[in-house]
Structure 1
Amino acid sequence: MRHMAFDRPLLRRTEGLTFWRLLGTGRGRSMSLGADLRRWALYAVWRGPADLEEFLATSPIAARWRSEARESWHVRLTPLAARGAWAGRNPIAIEGGAGGVQGPVAVLTRASIRFSRLAAFYRSVPAVDELLRRQDGCLASIGMGEWPLARQATFSLWRDSASVRAFAYRGAEHQQVIERVRSHDWYAEELFARFIPYGSEGTWDGTDPLR
């Protein structure tokens, strides 16, 4: 937990790291009240592959992942689409069109929840969690957060784009939550992004979900 504070100055000085967030994780597959204090995440946007390689080779943060972590998993992502904002801007640059996407898709959702809407938001989480468990196209998912309760995110991996659409638009529970988000103005800020995962290493709960 102490590295959530101590790693920040190192990340701020990392060459080529254009946007980053250290994130705690929940115990469920989506956003939840329970926290897993042993599992942490770094979401990072890089200027280019060379900057990432330099970080992995020389940063004491990456060295600690290798030497101290019981388990670690890394995935590289090419953005397909991104809308909304994170900390006042969209940090994800999109170059060209998505075209025909074959194979796995990664999805990142992030929201800053209004304090007046927190209770309603968390009442909606169990139904969405249950829907995720029933989706055979969902390879893996996890809830994450910058702050406890109010700044939340999810990261999920899907077999293909059709599986993402089936969850987003055909699941009644998810559709109801989306409608309440819009009609009751739950979020002060939100970001939704889709990616092609093009490289992964390590394990997540004992396996690499992309293999």
Structure 2
Amino acid sequence: MNQVTCLTLIKYSSLSTKIWGFGMMQFAHKHFTKVNGLEFYKLMGSGKGNGFNPWPDWSTYAVLTIWKNKAAADAFINEGDLFKKYTQKAENVCNIYMYNTKAHGLWTGRNPFRAATDIKLDTELICVITRATIKMSKLRKFWKYVPTSSKPLENNTDLIYTKGIGEVPIIQMATFSVWKNKEAINAFAYKSHEHTKAVKMTRDLKWYNEELFSRFRPFKMTGNWDGLESINLLLN
């Protein structure tokens, strides 16, 4: 049975709920350690704008969960007490269910993803999650180059959605993006001058203590989210 990855995007509107959401970055850990079928999780905030910003967006958070199977994911999202707390406090909650197709690198010392087998879906959509822990000595150079490396994403018609997220502002960064198909992400990853230069600089300058790159096939979405309307229609 295939492992299922869920990315939950959460948006808070009032000051009190934003404070609650920030607090859950710490207090939710004790709840996640008790969830049946959960193999891995990460609690993350986001950056301002599209997220490629060192300054936090205090309204938007992300929860990454990896489940033994879809039944375990459904049980948490549909019936879990912790998830009910999130939905009660949030203005908006969106869940994207995904099957991993490949991943390389490490996330806190291990690669938590297992590639799914025998995937048969009606869409060609590809989701990508990348993450890295930036060396303290490389922070200045890394953030200085971010606007340049992100430039190919602007007005990219093959990119449906992207958001910068992360466990710790400035230091532990991740990105979530949705692309029309495999050809689209390959064109960005391997043919974009700015991106390929960033990859080379990463290797030459050794920016990261740890990094991971992963691809997924999304197969279900619950809730709504600005920028993901077309995904919702395609998957549901």
Smaller-chain TM-score range?
Answer: over 0.9
Do 1:30 and 1:125's aligned partners in 2 also have CA atoms closer than 8 Å? no
Query: Taking structure 1 as reference, are residues 206 and 122 closer, same or farther at Cα in structure 2, changes over 3 Å only?
Result: closer
Count of aligned pairs: 211
1:112-153: CA deviation from partner (whole Å, max 9, x where unpaired):
111111111101111233221221111001001111211110
- Alignment of 1:172 onto 2:193: yes
Query: Taking structure 1 as reference, are residues 207 and 197 closer, same or farther at Cα in structure 2, changes over 3 Å only?
Result: closer
Other-structure match for 2:225: 204
Do 2:160 and 2:227's aligned partners in 1 also have CA atoms closer than 8 Å? no
* Shift, 1:48, TM fit: 1.1
1:75-112: CA deviation from partner (whole Å, max 9, x where unpaired):
00001110011011000012448899951100000101
**More deviation in 127-136 or 190-199?**
127-136
* Shift, 1:206, TM fit: 6.5
1:162-198: CA deviation from partner (whole Å, max 9, x where unpaired):
1101111121111111110011111111100000000
Does the residue aligned with 1:169 lie in a helix, a strand or coil? helix
Does the residue aligned with 2:149 lie in a helix, a strand or coil? helix
2:178 to 157, 172, 183: 157
1:109 to 126, 130, 135: 130
1:2-36: CA deviation from partner (whole Å, max 9, x where unpaired):
11111110001111110000000112435321211
Q: d(CA) in 1 for partners of 2:196 and 2:207? A: 15
Other-structure match for 2:146: 125
The residue type paired with residue 16 of structure 1 is G
The residue type paired with residue 159 of structure 2 is C
1:70 to 91, 99, 108: 91
Other-structure match for 1:87: 108
Other-structure match for 2:37: 16
Do 1:29 and 1:132's aligned partners in 2 also have CA atoms closer than 8 Å? no
Does the residue aligned with 1:37 lie in a helix, a strand or coil? coil
- Alignment of 1:35 onto 2:56: yes
* Shift, 1:66, TM fit: 2.5
Do 1:202 and 1:208's aligned partners in 2 also have CA atoms closer than 8 Å? no
Do 1:74 and 1:200's aligned partners in 2 also have CA atoms closer than 8 Å? yes
Structure 1 stretches (4+) deviating beyond 6 angstroms? 97-101
**More deviation in 107-116 or 89-98?**
89-98
Query: Taking structure 1 as reference, are residues 98 and 189 closer, same or farther at Cα in structure 2, changes over 3 Å only?
Result: farther
Query: Taking structure 1 as reference, are residues 81 and 150 closer, same or farther at Cα in structure 2, changes over 3 Å only?
Result: same
Segments of structure 1 that go 5 or more residues without pairing to the other structure are none
Query: Taking structure 1 as reference, are residues 7 and 117 closer, same or farther at Cα in structure 2, changes over 3 Å only?
Result: same
| CA RMSD of superposed structures (Å) | 2.0
Query: Taking structure 1 as reference, are residues 70 and 95 closer, same or farther at Cα in structure 2, changes over 3 Å only?
Result: closer
The residue type paired with residue 158 of structure 2 is G
- Alignment of 1:194 onto 2:207: no
Does the residue aligned with 2:140 lie in a helix, a strand or coil? helix
